[in-house]
Structure 1
Amino acid sequence: MTGFDAYQLPEEHQEIRDAVRSLCEGKVAPNAAHADETGEFPQASYDALRSADFHAPHIPEEYGGAGADALATAIVIEEVARACAASSLIPAVNKLGTMPLLLAGSDELKRRYLAPVARGDGMFSYCLSEPEAGSDAASMTTRAVSDNDHYVINGAKRWITNAGVSEFYTVFAVTAPGERSRGISAFVVEKSDPGVTFGAPEKKLGIKGSPTREVYFDNVRVPADRMIGKPGEGFKIAMRTLDHTRVTIAAQAIGIAQGALDFAKRYVQERRQFGKAIAEFQGIQFMLADMGMKLEAARQLTYAAAGKSERGDADLTYFGAAAKCFASDAAMEITTDAVQLLGGYGYTKDFPLERMMRDAKITQIYEGTNQVQRIVMARELLRG
């Protein structure tokens, strides 16, 4: 491979893009507006993704998965998000929830829980944030107390994506009070475990088809062999997970932005004012040029970060934060400009751009706000 080959998407990855795009245009995009309007989980989209092995493509083949690498997984998420941002959280959150297992889980734990996710028998969510522990996750108060060969978990988690729909949950809880980050451990909790309940769905600005709820743990007894890694390793596992999955949020952001740019391009070529298509006006062209430039810069940074995720490079923390931050900021700018290009029509629900703009906003917030991403990047830069 020559140095220039690194800047060209491999043929197999382009084939994945084409397959996902074809599927989503036919079986995911038609559900997007309804999911946004009703706030209902897009089950038809899940079924379509599951039928093609795009619901959790990152699961290794040895556990029955497609074995997609980090770049291929990012492309899947990008293409689903181009059609429906809420549906893109199916493969994205399945990766988020299972990444701790892939990084630190025992072989037995992986076999037990990755296989059903690969089959599509259940999704996997990630329970880190709490009502008083958001950006400062080490301040969590959910407790897991050892009781012979079990742990008893009590507490609450907030902002949990796909809560109530997912069958499995990676839950972070304090096992050594007073130790801050060194006293946190990670566990697999099942939806069916006695004592697990869910709050009402949050009423959100966007991604309405992906349920977000609180998860409550009331004396939930979890076998000790469901701990992920060793006692006290939970916070480290959580942060390592986010290094990898911030790439998926970047992919979601560029997918949303691509969908908005595609729609806006078609519109400005068809819309006529003053006797010609508005695409012929220089002011419009400048907006489109900036949108395309920002999008491609975000995509290249995201793909570079995906490569680092796959290899486990030492600078993944920096690149994951940079990709997530840059891509989500770009998505917010691009979707806002896309609404502007449609004028009054962009402000109505007759067109999908107002939904895309609302959906883009969350990518600047979850898996670490972009302010936190800048702190992460600065620390990595200063560390050298």
Structure 2
Amino acid sequence: MTAWGAESLLTEEQEAIRDVLNGFARRVMRPLGQKLDRIDPGEQLAPGSPYWSFMKEFATLGISVADLMAMPEAERAVLLCIANEEFGYGDGGLAIVLGATMLPHVMMHMFGRSDLIAKYPEGVPGCWAITEPDHGTDMLDPNGAIFAPNAKYGRPNCVAKFEADRIVLQGQKAAWCSNAPAAEICVLYVAADTGNGADPRNGACIIVPLDAPGVTKGRVIAKMGQRALPQGELFFDNVELPLDNVIAGPEDYKRAVYGVHAEANTLMGAVWTGNARSAYELAWDYAHERKQGGVPIIRHQSVAQRLFHMARKIELSRALTRRVALYNATAPTPSLPSAMMAKITGTQTAFEVASDAMQIFGGNGMTDEYPIEKTFRDARLALIEDGCNEILSIKGGYGLADPERFA
């Protein structure tokens, strides 16, 4: 096994990229993430904050959405898994910052919108706004697959009204919009009103510049983990935008939700595999240093066995995530249930491995003198973000059903 596990052989170029990103994760992401973890949320985006240092350092890597989307699908899938695992290894919250900041341009490329790519060049922080105060994971379920019989969605919190030559946005998105407080551009998933009232199952995907008149941002929320990731509300007060800013209208909305959900869930699997790897390595190193009973604790059977199962879970999570990423990148239609498997497996693995690592650290793991307590807190939030795992498993299970066999 290498330092990264028993993974299949990578090309020389892939190995070189992985090594560069691993160095970035260790040198930049981990120390800046730890600093952001201890900053008051109100100061997280202040001038001179470690957040801006991180964004500046990331820019030096020269990673662009345009270059990624120009790659062959299979090659891009493997590279994204490698990159996101390393980012998650560095800091889970900052890894989500990177995913969110690039997502508006990913969606522009996915839908072939060269006009919007030219209008909104890369290089500014972005965000994804989909979750709402009254409709969390509901927003990922425009088909209503998880609704109880005869249940009603209720009133959307945010609506895009389609008019003859424009769209008008009214309402708010929830405090869990990743990177929203720092973002300058947003990919907004919203209920659409085309003249017969708002229908969340026939919504719209819209590119929104966040300096548009009528847009305001909420404060950076305080939370248990992933404090390096700024999250906050977005408010829209009669925000007018040209129809050209619509990436996917009501007729294409379900495909837009399906596409972004399959992509995001898969990459979540990679990010939190990296987080799990970080927790494992911290525990492995500590187990060689800490002595109890006159020997390093890794000599005790229970510790060695625990480390083995931690490593086993990481290998399974990485293998599943890369298998799903490769399939979804090359298949005519990506498999959303498989992407959900990757997300749930990756996040559950991160939480379980971090919890086991805490046990190996014992009392020391509960203090902020050791990084494992932060890794544990970050992993816990991942079970909820990007669709809570319980709802994803229900929706994914329905996705495996064969309607032709229903009685």
Paired AA for residue 133 in structure 1:
H
Find the counterpart in structure 2 of residue 82 from structure 1.
Answer: 89
* Pick aligned residue for 2:228 from 202, 209, 213: 209
Q: In terms of mean alpha carbon deviation, does 237-246 or 327-336 score higher? A: 237-246
Once residues 233 and 273 of structure 1 are traced to their aligned partners in structure 2, the CA distance between those partners, rounded to angstroms, is 61
Q: CA deviation at 1:99?
A: 3.4
Once residues 270 and 215 of structure 2 are traced to their aligned partners in structure 1, the CA distance between those partners, rounded to angstroms, is 32
Q: CA deviation at 1:141?
A: 3.6
Once residues 253 and 263 of structure 2 are traced to their aligned partners in structure 1, the CA distance between those partners, rounded to angstroms, is 16
SS at match of 1:365: coil
Paired AA for residue 171 in structure 2:
G
Once residues 240 and 21 of structure 1 are traced to their aligned partners in structure 2, the CA distance between those partners, rounded to angstroms, is 29
C-alpha distance 103-181 of structure 1, shift in aligned 2 (>3 A): farther
1:126 aligns with 2:145: no
Q: CA deviation at 1:144?
A: 1.7
Once residues 85 and 290 of structure 1 are traced to their aligned partners in structure 2, the CA distance between those partners, rounded to angstroms, is 22
SS at match of 1:131: coil
Find the counterpart in structure 2 of residue 333 from structure 1.
Answer: 352
Once residues 33 and 232 of structure 1 are traced to their aligned partners in structure 2, the CA distance between those partners, rounded to angstroms, is 44
Find the counterpart in structure 1 of residue 172 from structure 2.
Answer: 156
Find the counterpart in structure 2 of residue 3 from structure 1.
Answer: none
Q: CA deviation at 1:248?
A: 1.4
C-alpha distance 319-59 of structure 1, shift in aligned 2 (>3 A): farther
Deviations 1:186-211 (A, max 9, x none): 21111110110011221111111111
Once residues 211 and 166 of structure 2 are traced to their aligned partners in structure 1, the CA distance between those partners, rounded to angstroms, is 16
Contact 2:84 2:267 in 1 (8 A): yes
Paired AA for residue 150 in structure 1:
R
Q: In terms of mean alpha carbon deviation, does 20-29 or 229-238 score higher? A: 229-238
Paired AA for residue 55 in structure 2:
Y
Find the counterpart in structure 1 of residue 150 from structure 2.
Answer: none
Q: In terms of mean alpha carbon deviation, does 157-166 or 137-146 score higher? A: 137-146
SS at match of 1:208: coil
Contact 2:193 2:199 in 1 (8 A): no
Q: In terms of mean alpha carbon deviation, does 283-292 or 71-80 score higher? A: 71-80
C-alpha distance 14-175 of structure 1, shift in aligned 2 (>3 A): farther
Q: CA deviation at 1:68?
A: 7.4
Once residues 237 and 177 of structure 2 are traced to their aligned partners in structure 1, the CA distance between those partners, rounded to angstroms, is 17
Find the counterpart in structure 1 of residue 147 from structure 2.
Answer: none
Q: CA deviation at 1:305?
A: 1.4
- TM-score w.r.t. the length of structure 2 is 0.85
Once residues 312 and 193 of structure 1 are traced to their aligned partners in structure 2, the CA distance between those partners, rounded to angstroms, is 38
Deviations 1:341-384 (A, max 9, x none): 00000001001111001100122111111112212331232239
1:110 aligns with 2:117: yes
Paired AA for residue 104 in structure 1:
F
List gaps (5 residues or longer) in structure 2.
1-6, 46-50, 143-152
Paired AA for residue 126 in structure 2:
F
SS at match of 1:215: strand
Listed as ranges, the matches of 1:324-363 within 5 Å are: 324-363=343-382
Deviations 1:250-309 (A, max 9, x none): 111111111111111110101111111001011000100010000110010011111123
Contact 1:105 1:228 in 2 (8 A): no
List gaps (5 residues or longer) in structure 1.
1-5
Find the counterpart in structure 1 of residue 394 from structure 2.
Answer: 375
Contact 1:164 1:198 in 2 (8 A): yes
Contact 1:332 1:357 in 2 (8 A): yes
1:165 aligns with 2:174: no
Q: In terms of mean alpha carbon deviation, does 263-272 or 362-371 score higher? A: 362-371
C-alpha distance 339-249 of structure 1, shift in aligned 2 (>3 A): same
Paired AA for residue 175 in structure 1:
D
Deviations 1:168-200 (A, max 9, x none): 011122233557354311211111101100112
* Pick aligned residue for 1:71 from 70, 73, 78: 78
Deviations 1:303-354 (A, max 9, x none): 1111123214535212211000111111100001101100000001001111
Paired AA for residue 189 in structure 2:
F
Once residues 202 and 68 of structure 2 are traced to their aligned partners in structure 1, the CA distance between those partners, rounded to angstroms, is 34
Q: In terms of mean alpha carbon deviation, does 191-200 or 23-32 score higher? A: 23-32
Once residues 193 and 346 of structure 1 are traced to their aligned partners in structure 2, the CA distance between those partners, rounded to angstroms, is 46
Paired AA for residue 33 in structure 1:
Q
Paired AA for residue 189 in structure 1:
V
1:193 aligns with 2:212: yes
SS at match of 2:135: coil
Q: CA deviation at 1:96?
A: 3.5
Contact 2:188 2:208 in 1 (8 A): yes
Paired AA for residue 394 in structure 2:
I
1:145 aligns with 2:161: yes
Contact 2:126 2:183 in 1 (8 A): yes
1:221 aligns with 2:240: yes
Paired AA for residue 112 in structure 1:
K
Find the counterpart in structure 2 of residue 175 from structure 1.
Answer: 193
Q: What's the % identity of the aligned pairs?
A: 25
Contact 2:203 2:249 in 1 (8 A): no
Find the counterpart in structure 1 of residue 289 from structure 2.
Answer: 270
Once residues 93 and 61 of structure 1 are traced to their aligned partners in structure 2, the CA distance between those partners, rounded to angstroms, is 15
Contact 2:127 2:183 in 1 (8 A): yes
Find the counterpart in structure 1 of residue 103 from structure 2.
Answer: 96
Contact 1:269 1:277 in 2 (8 A): yes
Paired AA for residue 12 in structure 2:
E
- TM-score w.r.t. the length of structure 1 is 0.90
Provide the aligned C-alpha RMSD in A.
2.3
C-alpha distance 58-262 of structure 1, shift in aligned 2 (>3 A): farther
SS at match of 2:38: helix
C-alpha distance 110-383 of structure 1, shift in aligned 2 (>3 A): farther
Once residues 226 and 171 of structure 1 are traced to their aligned partners in structure 2, the CA distance between those partners, rounded to angstroms, is 10
C-alpha distance 170-62 of structure 1, shift in aligned 2 (>3 A): closer
C-alpha distance 312-59 of structure 1, shift in aligned 2 (>3 A): farther
Q: In terms of mean alpha carbon deviation, does 277-286 or 313-322 score higher? A: 313-322
Once residues 327 and 62 of structure 1 are traced to their aligned partners in structure 2, the CA distance between those partners, rounded to angstroms, is 24
Once residues 234 and 331 of structure 2 are traced to their aligned partners in structure 1, the CA distance between those partners, rounded to angstroms, is 31
Deviations 1:137-193 (A, max 9, x none): 244341222344221110100111111211101112223355735431121111110
SS at match of 2:387: coil
